[in-house]
Amino acid sequence: MGILDGKKGLILGLANDKSIAWGVAQACYREGAELGFNYLGEQLEKRVRPLAESVDATLIESLDVSDDAQLDAFFDKVKAQWGEIDFMVHSIAFANKDALRNPFSQATRSDFQLALDISAYSFIACAQRAAPLMKEGGSMVTMTYLGAERAVPGYGMMGVAKAALEASTRYLAQDLGTYGIRVNAVSAGPIRTLAASAVGDFRKLMEKSARGSMLGRNVSQTEVGNTTAYLVSDLASGVSGEVHYVDAGFHIGAGDPGIE
Ligand code: NAP
């Protein structure tokens, strides 16, 4: 018996086997869920499809979350094929590399709009289309990072986007709670992925995070996946509007103690 037996869920943002979404997919599959995925354009379908098929995905469709027409088409397909869904995991973020490398005070309007659109608004855009498919109630989870509430070197623009994402999580939880839908965010510690490579000096960030954490190490995508599987399961039926840290306890500490 898995904690997700009989549940159908979408996992948005699988790029490769390093993605946090892959840790989530493996945990949800192990716990008995039937899964659906998106990929961003034909080029990436080649990477995503074999992974999705290895967890017996029954829905694999193209979706660029910056395009309303694609969002409508994707969720229409989900409705036509599955009818109803139980959960959705949003594991998507993007900012121009230069926008993360340049001083934050030099942020341009277009870089700001792009980062906020794909990394924060897209969760709202997906939630408003997924909610009507959650007829028996449901659960939504997005991925965030501590840079939303602290000034983390090299995270600038994305930190502002994550702050908007976390606030959106709370307001979505308020709106959708009426329909029995829970909305939460998982705040993961740093994990080496494609998206993470855009963050300046990520190696140093990982070292500091390990040293400053309560467990003295970083977390894995499997650990983030396991916590997400719990949040989308009925075991978390009383949890909504939460930012749940999976960072080996780094956020409660005073930071890197500076021990080399
Ligand atoms: P990842 O594997 O690169 O995943 C990011 C995903 O976002 C990719 O699948 C990417 O697709 C997708 N994406 C970007 N623009 C998109 C668009 N317009 N439409 C649809 N999909 C789009 O990196 P990750 O680290 O697992 O990131 C997943 C989430 O975890 C992000 O929200 C990230 O901020 C968050 N997070 C990461 C860490 C970390 O240290 N890695 C820590 C805390 C939170 P393509 O690759 O195909 O472009």
Instruction: Render the burial of 44-60: b for 16+ CB within 10 Å, e for the rest.
Output: ebebbeebbeebebebb
Distance from Cα 33 to the centre of ligand 1, integer Å: 22
* Residue 245 among the catalytic residues: no
From the number of C-beta atoms within 10 Å of its C-beta (0-12, 13-18, 19+), residue 32 rates as: middle
Distance from Cα 175 to the centre of ligand 1, integer Å: 26
What is the C-alpha to C-alpha distance for residues 196 and 217, in angstroms, rounded to an integer?
A: 18
Distance from Cα 1 to the centre of ligand 1, integer Å: 31
pLDDT tens digits, the chain, 260 residues: what are they?
899 999 999 999 999 999 999 999 999 999 999 999 999 988 889 999 999 999 999 999 999 999 999 999 999 999 999 999 999 999 999 999 999 999 999 999 999 999 999 999 999 999 999 999 999 999 999 999 999 999 999 999 999 999 999 999 999 999 999 999 999 999 999 999 999 988 878 999 999 999 999 999 999 999 999 999 999 999 999 999 999 999 999 999 987 765 44
Residue of 155, 179, 230, 245 with catalytic role = 155
* Residue 29 among the catalytic residues: no
| Total-model pTM | 0.97
Pocket of ligand 1, candidates 46, 91, 165, 169: which has the most ligand atoms within 8 Å of its Cβ, to mutate?
91
What residues contact 4, with CB distance under 8 A and at least 6 apart? 28, 31, 32, 33, 87, 229, 232, 233
Place of tokens 């409705």: 79
Place of tokens 């490579």: 197
Q: Quote the distance between the C-alpha of residue 249 and its chain's center.
A: 19
Pocket of ligand 1, candidates 10, 12, 16, 20: which has the most ligand atoms within 8 Å of its Cβ, to mutate?
20
